[in-house]
Amino acid sequence: MIALTYYLVLGTLLFFIGISGTLTQRNFIKFLMCVEIAINGVNLNLAATASFIADASGQTFVMFIMAISAAEIAVGLALAIIIYRKFGNIDISTLMENLKN
pLDDT at 66: 93
When pLDDT is averaged across residues 32-51 and rounded to a whole number, the result is 94
pLDDT at 38: 96
What is the C-alpha separation between 66 and 11, in angstroms, rounded? Answer: 15
- pTM confidence score: 0.85
Element (H, E) at 77: helix 56-87
pLDDT surpasses 90 at 36: yes
Strand partners, 27: 91
pLDDT at 37: 96
pLDDT (tens digit per residue) in 49-76: 998 988 888 889 999 999 999 999 999 9
What is the C-alpha separation between 20 and 11, in angstroms, rounded? Answer: 14
Q: What number of H helices and E strands is found in the chain?
A: 4, 0
Q: Where are the domains of the chain?
A: 4-100
Topology, domain 4-100: Helix Hairpins (1.10.287)
pLDDT at 54: 87
Question: Residue 70 half-sphere exposure, CB side, CA atoms within 13 Å?
Answer: 5
